[in-house]
Amino acid sequence: MKGTDNLASSINIPKFQEDLISWFEKEQRVLPWRENQDPYRVWVSEIMLQQTKVDTVIPYYLRFMEKFPTLEALAYAEEQDVLKAWEGLGYYSRARNLQTAVREVVEVYDAKVPDNPSEIGSLKGIGPYTQGAILSIAYNKPEPAVDGNVMRVLSRILLIREDIAKPKTRKLFEQAVRELISESNPSYFNQGMMELGALICTPRKPSCLLCPVQEHCVAFEKGVQEELPVKVKKIKKTTHSYFALILEDNAGNILIEKRPDEGLLAQLWQFPMIDKKKVDQQHLQTFIENKFETKIESMEVKEPVKHIFSHLVWQLDVIYVKLKQSIKVEENTTLVTKEGISTFPLPVSHQKIHKQIPDTE
DNA sequence: AAAGCGTGGCA
DNA sequence: TTGCCAAGCTT
Protein backbone atom coordinates (compact mmCIF):
# COMPACT_ATOMS: atom_id res chain seq x y z
CA MET A 1 0.00 0.00 0.00
CA LYS A 2 1.76 3.13 -1.16
CA GLY A 3 0.77 6.78 -1.33
CA THR A 4 -2.17 6.38 1.00
CA ASP A 5 -3.93 9.70 1.48
CA ASN A 6 -1.57 11.87 -0.50
CA LEU A 7 -3.60 12.95 -3.52
CA ALA A 8 -6.33 14.56 -1.45
CA SER A 9 -4.26 15.66 1.51
CA SER A 10 -5.21 19.31 0.92
CA ILE A 11 -8.93 18.58 1.29
CA ASN A 12 -11.15 18.64 4.37
CA ILE A 13 -12.81 15.42 3.30
CA PRO A 14 -15.94 15.32 5.52
CA LYS A 15 -16.74 18.95 4.65
CA PHE A 16 -16.15 18.29 0.95
CA GLN A 17 -18.51 15.28 0.99
CA GLU A 18 -21.16 17.26 2.84
CA ASP A 19 -20.92 20.26 0.49
CA LEU A 20 -21.10 18.08 -2.60
CA ILE A 21 -23.88 15.77 -1.48
CA SER A 22 -26.17 18.46 -0.11
CA TRP A 23 -25.72 20.41 -3.34
CA PHE A 24 -26.66 17.29 -5.34
CA GLU A 25 -29.72 16.66 -3.18
CA LYS A 26 -30.95 20.16 -3.89
CA GLU A 27 -29.88 20.78 -7.47
CA GLN A 28 -29.96 17.44 -9.25
CA ARG A 29 -31.90 17.29 -12.50
CA VAL A 30 -35.05 15.19 -12.67
CA LEU A 31 -34.16 12.38 -15.09
CA PRO A 32 -36.03 9.22 -16.08
CA TRP A 33 -33.27 6.91 -14.85
CA ARG A 34 -33.39 8.55 -11.45
CA GLU A 35 -36.96 7.38 -10.74
CA ASN A 36 -35.63 4.40 -8.82
CA GLN A 37 -32.47 2.32 -8.30
CA ASP A 38 -33.44 -0.67 -10.45
CA PRO A 39 -30.03 -2.01 -11.53
CA TYR A 40 -31.29 -2.77 -15.05
CA ARG A 41 -32.58 0.77 -15.55
CA VAL A 42 -29.37 2.25 -14.14
CA TRP A 43 -27.35 -0.05 -16.37
CA VAL A 44 -29.17 0.91 -19.58
CA SER A 45 -28.83 4.60 -18.77
CA GLU A 46 -25.10 4.31 -18.11
CA ILE A 47 -24.51 2.54 -21.42
CA MET A 48 -26.55 5.10 -23.35
CA LEU A 49 -24.81 7.98 -21.59
CA GLN A 50 -21.35 6.83 -22.63
CA GLN A 51 -19.94 9.71 -24.71
CA THR A 52 -23.47 10.97 -25.18
CA LYS A 53 -25.32 14.04 -23.86
CA VAL A 54 -28.24 13.73 -21.44
CA ASP A 55 -30.61 15.60 -23.77
CA THR A 56 -29.82 13.18 -26.58
CA VAL A 57 -30.32 10.10 -24.40
CA ILE A 58 -33.67 10.96 -22.78
CA PRO A 59 -36.00 10.15 -25.70
CA TYR A 60 -34.04 7.02 -26.57
CA TYR A 61 -34.11 5.88 -22.97
CA LEU A 62 -37.88 6.37 -22.66
CA ARG A 63 -38.57 4.47 -25.88
CA PHE A 64 -36.11 1.74 -24.96
CA MET A 65 -37.67 1.20 -21.53
CA GLU A 66 -41.11 1.06 -23.06
CA LYS A 67 -39.98 -1.54 -25.58
CA PHE A 68 -37.68 -3.51 -23.25
CA PRO A 69 -39.01 -2.78 -19.72
CA THR A 70 -37.11 -5.56 -17.98
CA LEU A 71 -33.77 -7.26 -18.24
CA GLU A 72 -35.48 -10.40 -19.47
CA ALA A 73 -37.48 -8.54 -22.11
CA LEU A 74 -34.21 -7.29 -23.56
CA ALA A 75 -32.56 -10.69 -23.28
CA TYR A 76 -35.31 -12.38 -25.29
CA ALA A 77 -35.66 -9.63 -27.92
CA GLU A 78 -34.51 -9.88 -31.54
CA GLU A 79 -31.11 -8.26 -32.06
CA GLN A 80 -32.37 -6.32 -35.08
CA ASP A 81 -35.13 -4.82 -32.94
CA VAL A 82 -32.57 -3.72 -30.36
CA LEU A 83 -30.43 -2.11 -33.05
CA LYS A 84 -33.51 -0.44 -34.52
CA ALA A 85 -34.26 1.06 -31.08
CA TRP A 86 -30.64 2.27 -30.94
CA GLU A 87 -30.77 3.73 -34.47
CA GLY A 88 -29.26 7.23 -34.50
CA LEU A 89 -27.72 7.00 -31.02
CA GLY A 90 -24.32 5.86 -32.29
CA TYR A 91 -21.63 3.48 -31.01
CA TYR A 92 -23.80 0.51 -31.95
CA SER A 93 -21.54 -2.05 -30.32
CA ARG A 94 -22.98 -0.68 -27.07
CA ALA A 95 -26.37 -2.12 -28.03
CA ARG A 96 -25.02 -5.50 -29.10
CA ASN A 97 -22.78 -5.78 -26.04
CA LEU A 98 -25.63 -4.78 -23.73
CA GLN A 99 -27.85 -7.52 -25.08
CA THR A 100 -25.02 -10.06 -24.88
CA ALA A 101 -24.49 -9.05 -21.27
CA VAL A 102 -28.13 -9.20 -20.16
CA ARG A 103 -28.39 -12.63 -21.76
CA GLU A 104 -25.41 -13.72 -19.65
CA VAL A 105 -27.06 -12.28 -16.54
CA VAL A 106 -30.21 -14.29 -17.28
CA GLU A 107 -28.30 -17.50 -17.85
CA VAL A 108 -25.52 -17.27 -15.27
CA TYR A 109 -26.91 -15.00 -12.53
CA ASP A 110 -30.58 -15.97 -12.54
CA ALA A 111 -31.51 -12.61 -14.11
CA LYS A 112 -30.10 -10.64 -11.16
CA VAL A 113 -27.50 -7.98 -12.00
CA PRO A 114 -24.34 -8.87 -10.00
CA ASP A 115 -23.48 -6.55 -7.12
CA ASN A 116 -19.73 -7.10 -6.96
CA PRO A 117 -16.85 -5.67 -9.07
CA SER A 118 -15.45 -8.88 -10.55
CA GLU A 119 -18.72 -10.34 -11.80
CA ILE A 120 -20.26 -7.13 -13.10
CA GLY A 121 -16.97 -5.99 -14.58
CA SER A 122 -16.64 -9.16 -16.64
CA LEU A 123 -19.89 -8.46 -18.50
CA LYS A 124 -19.65 -7.33 -22.13
CA GLY A 125 -19.62 -3.57 -22.49
CA ILE A 126 -19.11 -2.85 -18.80
CA GLY A 127 -15.74 -1.21 -18.24
CA PRO A 128 -14.22 0.45 -15.19
CA TYR A 129 -16.51 3.49 -15.25
CA THR A 130 -19.81 1.68 -15.81
CA GLN A 131 -18.89 -0.96 -13.23
CA GLY A 132 -18.40 1.71 -10.59
CA ALA A 133 -21.47 3.65 -11.67
CA ILE A 134 -23.82 0.66 -11.35
CA LEU A 135 -22.28 -0.53 -8.08
CA SER A 136 -22.52 2.90 -6.49
CA ILE A 137 -25.84 4.13 -7.92
CA ALA A 138 -27.86 0.89 -7.86
CA TYR A 139 -26.19 -0.87 -4.91
CA ASN A 140 -24.73 2.04 -2.93
CA LYS A 141 -21.24 0.52 -2.89
CA PRO A 142 -18.28 2.91 -2.34
CA GLU A 143 -16.64 2.28 -5.74
CA PRO A 144 -15.10 4.99 -7.93
CA ALA A 145 -16.92 5.86 -11.16
CA VAL A 146 -14.42 7.97 -13.06
CA ASP A 147 -15.65 9.50 -16.30
CA GLY A 148 -14.63 12.64 -18.16
CA ASN A 149 -16.62 14.81 -15.73
CA VAL A 150 -14.90 13.38 -12.67
CA MET A 151 -11.45 13.77 -14.19
CA ARG A 152 -12.20 17.39 -15.10
CA VAL A 153 -13.62 18.23 -11.68
CA LEU A 154 -10.84 16.55 -9.73
CA SER A 155 -8.07 17.84 -11.98
CA ARG A 156 -9.21 21.31 -10.93
CA ILE A 157 -9.93 20.66 -7.27
CA LEU A 158 -6.65 18.77 -6.69
CA LEU A 159 -4.65 20.60 -9.38
CA ILE A 160 -3.72 17.42 -11.22
CA ARG A 161 -1.96 18.14 -14.53
CA GLU A 162 -1.69 14.57 -15.86
CA ASP A 163 -2.90 14.11 -19.45
CA ILE A 164 -6.45 12.77 -19.13
CA ALA A 165 -6.26 11.32 -22.66
CA LYS A 166 -3.82 8.68 -21.41
CA PRO A 167 -5.47 5.43 -20.18
CA LYS A 168 -3.12 5.27 -17.20
CA THR A 169 -4.37 8.60 -15.86
CA ARG A 170 -7.82 7.21 -15.03
CA LYS A 171 -6.28 5.01 -12.34
CA LEU A 172 -4.81 8.05 -10.64
CA PHE A 173 -8.25 9.65 -10.43
CA GLU A 174 -9.76 6.40 -9.16
CA GLN A 175 -7.26 6.51 -6.31
CA ALA A 176 -8.26 10.11 -5.58
CA VAL A 177 -11.95 9.10 -5.48
CA ARG A 178 -11.18 6.24 -3.10
CA GLU A 179 -9.70 8.82 -0.74
CA LEU A 180 -12.60 11.24 -1.11
CA ILE A 181 -15.72 9.10 -1.52
CA SER A 182 -18.47 9.12 1.11
CA GLU A 183 -18.96 5.71 2.68
CA SER A 184 -22.43 6.66 3.89
CA ASN A 185 -23.70 7.85 0.49
CA PRO A 186 -21.40 6.78 -2.34
CA SER A 187 -24.30 6.99 -4.81
CA TYR A 188 -24.89 10.69 -4.30
CA PHE A 189 -21.16 11.35 -4.03
CA ASN A 190 -20.45 9.87 -7.48
CA GLN A 191 -23.56 11.33 -9.06
CA GLY A 192 -22.78 14.67 -7.45
CA MET A 193 -19.30 14.71 -8.97
CA MET A 194 -20.72 14.03 -12.43
CA GLU A 195 -23.63 16.44 -12.02
CA LEU A 196 -21.17 19.11 -10.91
CA GLY A 197 -19.11 18.49 -14.04
CA ALA A 198 -22.20 18.73 -16.22
CA LEU A 199 -23.78 21.83 -14.63
CA ILE A 200 -21.05 23.89 -12.92
CA CYS A 201 -17.52 22.64 -13.54
CA THR A 202 -17.93 22.70 -17.33
CA PRO A 203 -15.11 22.31 -19.86
CA ARG A 204 -15.20 25.99 -20.84
CA LYS A 205 -16.16 28.93 -18.62
CA PRO A 206 -16.89 26.98 -15.44
CA SER A 207 -19.36 28.69 -13.09
CA CYS A 208 -16.97 28.82 -10.15
CA LEU A 209 -18.98 31.53 -8.37
CA LEU A 210 -21.89 29.08 -8.08
CA CYS A 211 -19.76 26.08 -7.15
CA PRO A 212 -20.67 24.28 -3.91
CA VAL A 213 -17.07 23.09 -3.45
CA GLN A 214 -15.32 26.28 -4.50
CA GLU A 215 -13.58 26.60 -1.12
CA HIS A 216 -11.91 23.21 -1.70
CA CYS A 217 -10.69 23.96 -5.22
CA VAL A 218 -6.97 24.59 -5.65
CA ALA A 219 -7.31 25.57 -9.31
CA PHE A 220 -9.88 28.26 -8.43
CA GLU A 221 -7.68 29.53 -5.63
CA LYS A 222 -4.83 29.96 -8.13
CA GLY A 223 -7.12 31.16 -10.95
CA VAL A 224 -6.04 28.40 -13.35
CA GLN A 225 -9.30 26.46 -13.65
CA GLU A 226 -9.59 27.15 -17.40
CA GLU A 227 -6.18 25.54 -18.02
CA LEU A 228 -7.48 22.22 -16.75
CA PRO A 229 -7.83 19.41 -17.46
CA VAL A 230 -4.75 18.81 -19.58
CA LYS A 231 -5.63 16.84 -22.69
CA VAL A 232 -3.44 16.23 -25.76
CA LYS A 233 -4.76 16.98 -29.24
CA LYS A 234 -5.95 14.26 -31.54
CA ILE A 235 -5.21 13.70 -35.18
CA LYS A 236 -7.07 15.11 -38.17
CA LYS A 237 -9.71 12.86 -39.67
CA THR A 238 -9.42 11.47 -43.18
CA THR A 239 -12.16 11.74 -45.82
CA HIS A 240 -13.52 8.79 -47.83
CA SER A 241 -15.63 9.48 -50.93
CA TYR A 242 -18.30 7.11 -52.21
CA PHE A 243 -21.20 6.90 -54.61
CA ALA A 244 -24.26 5.90 -52.58
CA LEU A 245 -26.78 4.18 -54.83
CA ILE A 246 -30.54 4.17 -54.64
CA LEU A 247 -31.13 1.19 -56.93
CA GLU A 248 -34.79 0.83 -57.89
CA ASP A 249 -35.77 -2.17 -59.97
CA ASN A 250 -38.53 -2.37 -62.55
CA ALA A 251 -41.02 -3.39 -59.85
CA GLY A 252 -40.27 -0.37 -57.66
CA ASN A 253 -38.21 -2.22 -55.05
CA ILE A 254 -35.01 -0.78 -53.56
CA LEU A 255 -31.80 -2.70 -52.85
CA ILE A 256 -30.16 -2.35 -49.45
CA GLU A 257 -27.24 -4.26 -47.97
CA LYS A 258 -26.20 -5.29 -44.47
CA ARG A 259 -22.83 -4.11 -43.21
CA PRO A 260 -20.33 -6.63 -41.78
CA ASP A 261 -20.72 -8.08 -38.26
CA GLU A 262 -17.82 -6.05 -36.87
CA GLY A 263 -16.31 -2.63 -37.42
CA LEU A 264 -17.85 0.68 -38.41
CA LEU A 265 -21.67 0.71 -38.18
CA ALA A 266 -21.63 -3.05 -37.72
CA GLN A 267 -24.82 -4.91 -38.71
CA LEU A 268 -26.63 -1.79 -39.81
CA TRP A 269 -28.25 -1.55 -43.24
CA GLN A 270 -27.27 0.88 -45.98
CA PHE A 271 -27.71 1.74 -49.62
CA PRO A 272 -24.90 0.18 -51.70
CA MET A 273 -21.75 2.30 -51.69
CA ILE A 274 -18.97 2.35 -54.29
CA ASP A 275 -15.56 3.78 -53.43
CA LYS A 276 -14.90 6.69 -55.81
CA LYS A 277 -11.28 5.64 -56.03
CA LYS A 278 -12.47 2.54 -57.88
CA VAL A 279 -14.59 4.23 -60.57
CA ASP A 280 -15.22 7.74 -61.91
CA GLN A 281 -18.66 9.09 -62.76
CA GLN A 282 -18.13 8.52 -66.50
CA HIS A 283 -17.84 4.79 -66.04
CA LEU A 284 -20.32 4.50 -63.22
CA GLN A 285 -23.23 3.26 -65.34
CA THR A 286 -21.23 0.38 -66.83
CA PHE A 287 -19.74 -0.43 -63.46
CA ILE A 288 -23.15 -0.70 -61.82
CA GLU A 289 -24.57 -2.80 -64.66
CA ASN A 290 -21.69 -5.24 -64.32
CA LYS A 291 -21.61 -5.35 -60.54
CA PHE A 292 -25.33 -5.87 -60.07
CA GLU A 293 -25.87 -7.81 -63.33
CA THR A 294 -28.65 -5.54 -64.52
CA LYS A 295 -29.50 -2.80 -67.07
CA ILE A 296 -30.02 0.84 -66.24
CA GLU A 297 -32.98 2.86 -67.46
CA SER A 298 -31.92 6.25 -66.06
CA MET A 299 -29.66 7.89 -63.48
CA GLU A 300 -30.15 11.07 -61.49
CA VAL A 301 -27.74 12.85 -59.13
CA LYS A 302 -29.37 13.75 -55.81
CA GLU A 303 -28.18 15.87 -52.86
CA PRO A 304 -24.78 14.81 -51.56
CA VAL A 305 -24.58 13.66 -47.94
CA LYS A 306 -21.69 14.25 -45.55
CA HIS A 307 -21.26 11.95 -42.57
CA ILE A 308 -18.80 13.02 -39.88
CA PHE A 309 -17.62 10.24 -37.55
CA SER A 310 -15.36 10.53 -34.54
CA HIS A 311 -12.29 9.51 -36.55
CA LEU A 312 -13.17 9.85 -40.26
CA VAL A 313 -15.52 11.50 -42.77
CA TRP A 314 -17.73 10.06 -45.51
CA GLN A 315 -18.52 12.19 -48.54
CA LEU A 316 -21.44 10.53 -50.32
CA ASP A 317 -22.57 11.37 -53.87
CA VAL A 318 -26.13 10.09 -53.93
CA ILE A 319 -27.17 8.59 -57.27
CA TYR A 320 -30.76 7.54 -57.94
CA VAL A 321 -30.72 4.70 -60.45
CA LYS A 322 -33.81 3.30 -62.20
CA LEU A 323 -33.38 -0.15 -63.68
CA LYS A 324 -34.99 -1.77 -66.70
CA GLN A 325 -35.06 -5.14 -64.99
CA SER A 326 -34.70 -6.87 -61.66
CA ILE A 327 -31.62 -7.01 -59.43
CA LYS A 328 -29.80 -10.11 -58.34
CA VAL A 329 -30.20 -10.46 -54.56
CA GLU A 330 -27.09 -11.84 -52.90
CA GLU A 331 -25.94 -12.70 -49.38
CA ASN A 332 -26.45 -9.77 -46.98
CA THR A 333 -28.59 -7.83 -49.43
CA THR A 334 -32.33 -7.56 -49.70
CA LEU A 335 -34.99 -5.92 -51.83
CA VAL A 336 -37.56 -3.83 -50.00
CA THR A 337 -40.34 -1.43 -50.75
CA LYS A 338 -39.76 2.26 -50.08
CA GLU A 339 -41.87 2.10 -46.95
CA GLY A 340 -40.26 -1.16 -45.83
CA ILE A 341 -36.80 0.35 -45.65
CA SER A 342 -37.74 2.28 -42.53
CA THR A 343 -38.00 -0.94 -40.53
CA PHE A 344 -34.27 -1.63 -40.92
CA PRO A 345 -31.63 -0.02 -38.65
CA LEU A 346 -29.90 2.61 -40.81
CA PRO A 347 -26.99 4.92 -40.01
CA VAL A 348 -27.84 8.61 -39.95
CA SER A 349 -26.31 9.31 -43.36
CA HIS A 350 -28.51 6.63 -44.92
CA GLN A 351 -31.62 7.90 -43.17
CA LYS A 352 -30.92 11.12 -45.08
CA ILE A 353 -30.49 9.20 -48.34
CA HIS A 354 -33.75 7.35 -47.66
CA LYS A 355 -35.56 10.69 -47.53
CA GLN A 356 -34.34 11.45 -51.05
CA ILE A 357 -36.18 8.56 -52.65
CA PRO A 358 -38.90 10.04 -54.89
CA ASP A 359 -42.48 9.17 -54.02
CA THR A 360 -44.29 6.57 -56.01
CA GLU A 361 -46.25 8.05 -58.89
C1' DA B 1 -0.81 2.00 -25.54
C1' DA B 2 -3.19 3.41 -29.22
C1' DA B 3 -6.70 3.14 -32.43
C1' DG B 4 -11.51 2.16 -33.78
C1' DC B 5 -16.12 3.23 -32.82
C1' DG B 6 -21.43 7.75 -33.81
C1' DT B 7 -23.72 11.65 -33.28
C1' DG B 8 -25.20 16.39 -32.29
C1' DG B 9 -24.22 20.88 -30.24
C1' DC B 10 -21.51 24.77 -29.85
C1' DA B 11 -17.79 28.58 -30.03
C1' DT C 1 -16.37 25.93 -41.33
C1' DT C 2 -13.69 23.44 -38.25
C1' DG C 3 -12.43 21.44 -34.15
C1' DC C 4 -13.71 20.20 -29.68
C1' DC C 5 -16.56 18.09 -26.53
C1' DA C 6 -20.02 14.47 -24.05
C1' DA C 7 -22.08 9.73 -17.89
C1' DG C 8 -16.15 4.89 -22.39
C1' DC C 9 -15.33 0.16 -24.06
C1' DT C 10 -12.91 -3.21 -26.91
C1' DT C 11 -9.06 -5.07 -29.15
Written as tens digits, the pLDDT of chain A (361 aa) is 444 568 888 899 999 999 999 999 999 999 999 999 999 999 999 999 999 999 999 999 999 999 999 999 999 999 999 999 999 999 999 999 999 999 999 999 999 999 999 999 999 999 999 999 999 999 999 999 999 999 999 999 999 999 999 888 999 999 999 999 999 999 999 999 999 999 999 999 999 999 999 999 999 999 999 999 998 876 667 888 999 999 999 999 999 999 998 889 999 999 999 999 899 999 999 999 999 999 999 999 999 998 888 778 899 999 999 999 989 898 899 999 999 999 999 999 999 999 999 873 3
Distance A137 CA to C1 C1' (A): 41
Which ranges of A109-185 would DSSP assign to H, the alpha helix? 117-121, 128-139, 148-157, 167-180
User: Which nucleotide's C1' atom has the smallest distance to the CA of A94?
Assistant: C9
Q: In DSSP terms, which residues pair with A305 in a beta bridge?
A: A316
- For CATH 3.90.79.10, list the domain ranges present in chain A: 238-354
| CATH class name, domain A238-354 | alpha beta
Which of A's residues 4-63 have CB atoms within 7 A of nucleic strand C? 31, 45-46, 49-54
**pLDDT of amino acid A5:** 60
**pLDDT of amino acid A47:** 97
DSSP A359: P
Distance A11 CA to C2 C1' (A): 40
**pLDDT of amino acid A3:** 44
- For CATH 1.10.340.30, list the domain ranges present in chain A: 13-227
In this complex, which residue's CA is closest to the C1' atom of nucleotide B6?
A90
Answer yes or no: are the C-beta atoms of A335 and A253 closer than 8 Å.
yes
**Could you name the CATH architecture of A13-227?**
Orthogonal Bundle (1.10)
User: Which nucleotide's C1' atom has the smallest distance to the CA of A166?
Assistant: B1
In this complex, which residue's CA is closest to the C1' atom of nucleotide C5?
A203
> Among candidates A26, A27, A22, A45, which has minimal Cα distance to A35?
A45
In this complex, which residue's CA is closest to the C1' atom of nucleotide B9?
A53
Q: A174: Cβ under 7 Å from strand C? A: no
Euclidean distance between CA atoms A302 and A92, whole angstroms: 28
Residues of A belonging to the active site: 46
Q: In DSSP terms, which residues pair with A247 in a beta bridge?
A: A321
